[in-house]
């Protein structure tokens, strides 16, 4: 724990656990009610789908032949260990700890998918016509709650660093 800090690690681990459970719960529902490739239109720009991602973000290395499963699992486990160490060192830095907790919950959610299934279950499919020049049919790559938590955490880390730099001036 940081010097002079009475803050606890447990609320941050609790947040990560809540994100993990929500992610896994939604994936269990998708696996139970959808077959691979199924899609349900919800709005003009959002579908619920079932996609299996054997790679990383944007299906990076998805077709690499199988070794990537263990590589991304090891990266996720290493990142989770480092994040817990950082949380222990800085539990009183609220935005920083919030960011790390979001990333931790998401990383563990996707690691569990890789270990259980050999792929990550993605199910959120957003699409807009203006994205057609970048993504096929304007469909942003499908993702899940773990990915969303990681993204929120990354944005919060950037905001925290910008605030830290501004305070040091």
Contacts of 40 (CB under 8 A, 6+ apart): 34, 47, 48, 49
Q: Is residue 141 part of a domain?
A: no
User: Can you give the residue range of the structural domain that contains 67?
Assistant: 10-38+61-120+146-168
Taking each helix axis from N to C terminus, what angle separates 94-117 and 145-168, rounded to the nearest 10 degrees?
A: 150
Residue 138 falls within a domain, yes or no?
no
Q: Classify residue 140: in a domain, yes or no.
A: no
Instruction: Classify residue 55: in a domain, yes or no.
Output: no
Q: With 0.85 as the threshold, say if the pTM is over it.
A: yes
Strands 39-43 and 120-126: unpaired
Domain total in the chain: 1
**Residues involved in catalysis:** 122, 147
Q: Does residue 128 lie in a domain region?
A: no
Q: Mean pLDDT per segment of 10 residues, for the chain of length 169 residues?
A: 64 97 98 97 97 75 66 88 94 95 97 94 95 90 96 98 91
């Amino acid at each position: 724990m940081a010097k002079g800090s009475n803050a606890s690690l447990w609320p941050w681990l609790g947040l990560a656990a809540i994100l993990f459970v929500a992610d896994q719960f939604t994936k269990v529902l998708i696996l139970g009610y959808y077959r691979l490739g199924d899609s349900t239109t919800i709005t003009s720009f959002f579908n619920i789908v079932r996609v299996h991602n054997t790679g990383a973000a944007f299906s990076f290395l998805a077709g690499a032949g199988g070794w990537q499963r263990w590589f991304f699992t090891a990266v996720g486990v290493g990142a989770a260990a480092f994040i817990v160490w950082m949380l222990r060192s800085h539990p009183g830095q609220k935005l920083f700890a919030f960011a790390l907790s979001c990333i931790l919950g998401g990383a563990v959610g996707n690691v569990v998918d890789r270990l259980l299934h050999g792929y990550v279950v993605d199910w959120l499919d957003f699409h807009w016509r203006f994205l057609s020049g970048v993504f096929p049919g304007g469909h942003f790559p499908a993702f899940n709650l773990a990915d969303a938590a990681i993204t929120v955490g990354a944005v919060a880390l950037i905001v925290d660093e910008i605030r830290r730099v501004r305070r040091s001036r």
